Amino acid sequence: MKQLDMEFKNEIGKTKHMRLNYASQTLDETTIKTAMQTIADLKMFELEAVNPYATPIKAQYIERTVTPIFGGETESEPKAKIAE
């Protein structure tokens, strides 16, 4: 699964990300830019009296690969022997 990562600057210049797990992977640049600008213009978020999504900076899809090292279902655990 790819994640849509939208990067903004807040009102005091710090970077803030909005990540969406189930976004369409066929969105084009214009659609995403328009959506990000709408989010910024609506000023619907506030964190400590600062709009965290004031200025759209960039957007990208992120694909994460997990490579297990140990634990979980990938490792067969030895079964305890029952003393008779």
pLDDT digits (tens, 9 = 90+) for 9-68: 999 999 999 999 999 999 999 999 999 999 999 999 998 999 999 999 999 999 999 899
Q: What is the CA radius of gyration of the chain?
A: 21
What is the reported pLDDT for 78? Answer: 56
Residues 50 and 44: beta-carbon distance below 8 Å: no
Residue 77 pLDDT > 70: no
17 within 8 A of 3, measured Cβ to Cβ: no
Model confidence at 76: pLDDT above 90: no
pLDDT of 21 reads 95
pLDDT score recorded for residue 70:
93
Nearest to 9 by CA among 37, 28, 30: 37
* Helices vs. strands in the chain: H and E counts, helices first: 1, 3
In terms of DSSP H, where are the helices of the chain?
Answer: 29-42
